[in-house]
Structure 1
Amino acid sequence: MNPFTTLRRHLSPAQINFYFSIICFFSPPVLGSLVSIAFNAGGVWSVMLLAAKRRRFNIDRPMLTLTMAIYAYCATMVLASIVNGTLAADLRLFLPLITFLLFPISYSTWSITEKTTLARIAILASAAACFGALAIAIVQYHWLGTRAEGGAGNAIVFATVTCLAVMLCLAGALSGIETRWKLLVLAATAGTVAIVYSGSRMIWVAVPITGIVVLLINRRRFAGASVARFLAIGLVAAVVIAAIGSRVILDRADFLVSDWDALNANGDHSTALGLRVAMWEIGVHAFREMPIFGHGISASRALMKQALQDQFGVQQTLSHFHNGFLTALVQAGLLGALALASIFIVAAWNAARTLRFSADPLERFGATVILVAVITYLIAGMTGMLIGHDILDATLMVFLVSGTYLASGRTVTPIGKSAPAMSPHASPQP
């Protein structure tokens, strides 16, 4: 029997969403690609439910504008291949775009979940993910002698998704949605230590920046008497993190200085920093050659591999240029880069609008979820991947779907059940 059919017979739609949401928020740091499998499988199953009229399509204005931006990006990637005559070669490389195309489908299914329930799941599952991330990081760093990669198998990806989990813990503690703030502060500290163990320097930058944004969003909740206590807690957490991670921090700083010296003194492009500089030079030149539509996905990868070998004597096969927007520029030209930027601009605009006009804790938490994702991805994407990795793509969609729904969506019920209509800025009672 089909496992989805068995699941549907034993669980209600709300219960299925409950467990699905736990998987989506817990698995990125700990279980890696499970979030991609779950999100995509859930999206395909939702398509079947919508086709069978067992779910209703939920269209809100913020969701619609974000969908248009996401679909525009997917269209530019296909258009670039058509213009360059590489459509056949790129077909298999379009498969990751399915994750983005499922955005409105998953939104419609996820919005049958009560907002309070979804927010608490996101917070508590993220807390569990932070503790799991630290446990794995300790094993990988101290016992295996490697940078912490979590369940992702990639240190940068692991650090990125763990940063998101840390910020949800912090937002949950400050928003008042979850009363166990001490547990959340402890979880955020554990997650931050795991990020330190990853050695991902750009995420070390992202953590304080996103943390400050979360603090600013929730500044109204601070009474004068609580500021001193909060600062004390933050100071203690910072001291603990610095003490535990001092060796990692110093080692990574030494590597950066060493790479810089090797690049400047000897023109060595075989180091992590040197390789990035080489890829950026190749990418800028490739963009100038095809500025409007780009080279297409497969041609861009072949171009980079050949240029690294010919110009820098480095033999590497890489799928991206270690800068998200430069990758988009080379693959799909200005059209692709602008379409990619529009996803983050529209998402941030939706969040900012909610924060400006709404005082509802759930809606403000949803806006925080969006901004945390936008800021973290943009910072990480400056020297790494912005999108194009299954875990990063699925996690981004999880945060944009849930954040948009919580911030400005309306709750609907499955077909066959009735519920009063809700305004875009109304939240259900717990």
Structure 2
Amino acid sequence: MLSDQLTKAIMLPTKGHFIGIDRNNRLFTFVFALFPGLLASGTSVTLVCAFMWALVSLAARRFAFKMNRTDKIVAFCLTFYVLVTILSVLLHPNPAKGGAFILKMIPFLAIWAVLPRLRVSLPGRLLPFLIIGAGVGMMGSLLFSIVQTTVLSARAEGGAGNAAVFGLFAVLFGSISLLNAHSESKIERFIAIAGFACGLVCAFLSATRSAWLVMPVHFVILYWYLRGQTLPTVTNAAKVVGTVLIVGIVAVGAIKVTERFHALENDIVQLDHQPDDISSLNARLMLWSAARQALLASPFIGHGPQNRMTLVNEILDLPPEKQMTFTHVHNGFLNAAVDAGLLGVLAVLALLAAPVVAARRKEPGPGRDLATAISLLLVSSYVITGMFGIMFGHDATDAVFIYLTIMICWISGTSPYLSIPEVAARAEADKQALIA
């Protein structure tokens, strides 16, 4: 049974100094992958706890501080974003109100301590837990979403508390799940395909149009990765199940796409005939226009995140009852521009480049291909959805981006792909390697 093999793969036999660290790394990676769709806030809490414990362990010299040149480049990209944000808070009025924004920067520094801790783990051992955790998490998220859309609301939010964030995580982790499609384990392949299908359905149920735009890009990335793998022979039973899944996804997608298309159509009509009424579309256009004006007023250093929405509302000059209550301008790049000007946009670009740099600077091999696929899935998800909604600044979206970036850094370019059964079979050998 896969559950027994999963337990054996995570819970290495006997005790030992590095065995304990490696075991916790495996468990942490698996649990983290479960959280985005089921309990999104759990990602940030888990990451911060891991960061704090890693700092304590580093101070106690429980493991060595090991970061290669690429690791440091990526870490500096994340740190640059932190420094720019802190600078933008301190250089502008109301710096005391910017304390919350500075606190949000703490997880971005986790790479300096968490990555050396992950280096204790043997090559290739953590990725299987990330990928299968993503699949299982998406299957659970679909059940959560069905209950929500049946009983509570028209749009599924999963455990994210926000339909847009849930849509982002659904399409991202559903796609990560499919990276197991070439596993030697039938159960793993089933979870990979089921997790991918559930992720797509969750994204449709979230009614997040920007997440739907991510799907064709992910199809291309997944095709690129999987075409280079040895895929199992598709049986007649698999063809039947696949056909049912495709029909189900298309049916759910057609219903939700039709609903959201009509909503967009109504917004466009309203924009022409009732321009004073603030619809979803009109609100975005107004926010983007105000953000552009704010950028032109201070193009190099912005206005500080603590003054963002106050300034936007001042520019819009709306009546009190119509003022925007959003926390961001629904575009990650414009958000950064209002906060810290062109320097802020440069910091976001550095942040988005970090996972791709981490993947492509590795030595050629199966590990680099897998790292590249994950990095492209991650960055495309954030860029596309971030053009119409939140990108960074949300605790869960920040935590997911940070930990996946750390994982991409951790992957060895030459390490082979391993399934859970293979990791379980190597448990005794891994124990000996960690003790040595």
Normalising by the residue count of structure 2, what TM-score does the alignment of the two structures yield?
0.85
Q: Percent identity?
A: 26
Answering whether residue 128 of structure 2 is matched by residue 120 of structure 1, we say yes
Answering whether residue 62 of structure 2 is matched by residue 54 of structure 1, we say yes
Residues 37 and 409 (structure 1 numbering): CA distance in 2 closer, same or farther, change over 3 Å? farther
Residue matched to 1:358:
364
AA aligned to 1:130 is: M
Residue matched to 1:88:
96
Answering whether residue 303 of structure 2 is matched by residue 295 of structure 1, we say yes
Superposition pairs for residues 29-428 of structure 1, below 5 Å? 29-174=37-182, 180-221=188-229, 237-310=245-318, 314-354=322-362, 358-360=364-366, 362-408=367-413
Q: CA deviation at 1:303?
A: 1.0
Contact 1:80 1:293 in 2 (8 A): yes
Please give the per-residue CA displacement for 1:136-185, whole angstroms capped at 9, x wherever unaligned.
Answer: 11001112233100001000111111222111111121476987313311
Residue matched to 1:426:
none
List gaps (5 residues or longer) in structure 2. Answer: 1-14, 416-429
Inter-partner Cα distance in structure 1 for 2:130 and 2:361 = 22
Inter-partner Cα distance in structure 2 for 1:144 and 1:105 = 41
Please give the per-residue CA displacement for 1:299-339, whole angstroms capped at 9, x wherever unaligned.
Answer: 11211233445389722322211000100000011111111
Contact 1:365 1:407 in 2 (8 A): no
Residues 59 and 324 (structure 1 numbering): CA distance in 2 closer, same or farther, change over 3 Å? same
Residue matched to 1:17:
25
Please give the per-residue CA displacement for 1:60-113, whole angstroms capped at 9, x wherever unaligned.
Answer: 222111111111111111222233244333123211100101122111112222
AA aligned to 2:336 is: A
Contact 1:62 1:350 in 2 (8 A): yes
AA aligned to 2:349 is: A
Larger displacement relative to structure 2 (377-386 or 141-150): 141-150
Inter-partner Cα distance in structure 1 for 2:177 and 2:321 = 45
List gaps (5 residues or longer) in structure 1. Answer: 1-6, 420-430
Inter-partner Cα distance in structure 1 for 2:186 and 2:103 = 38
Contact 2:131 2:180 in 1 (8 A): yes
- Matched residue count: 406
Report the 3-state secondary structure (helix = DSSP H, G, I; strand = E; otherwise coil) of the residue aligned with 2:62: coil
Residues 32 and 106 (structure 1 numbering): CA distance in 2 closer, same or farther, change over 3 Å? same
Inter-partner Cα distance in structure 2 for 1:409 and 1:49 = 28
Report the 3-state secondary structure (helix = DSSP H, G, I; strand = E; otherwise coil) of the residue aligned with 2:125: helix
Contact 1:269 1:312 in 2 (8 A): no
AA aligned to 1:400 is: T
Residue matched to 1:423:
none
Contact 1:175 1:221 in 2 (8 A): no
Residue matched to 1:425:
none
Residues 269 and 335 (structure 1 numbering): CA distance in 2 closer, same or farther, change over 3 Å? farther
Report the 3-state secondary structure (helix = DSSP H, G, I; strand = E; otherwise coil) of the residue aligned with 1:12: helix
Residues 61 and 165 (structure 1 numbering): CA distance in 2 closer, same or farther, change over 3 Å? same
Q: CA deviation at 1:287?
A: 0.4
Contact 1:262 1:268 in 2 (8 A): no
Inter-partner Cα distance in structure 1 for 2:237 and 2:285 = 44
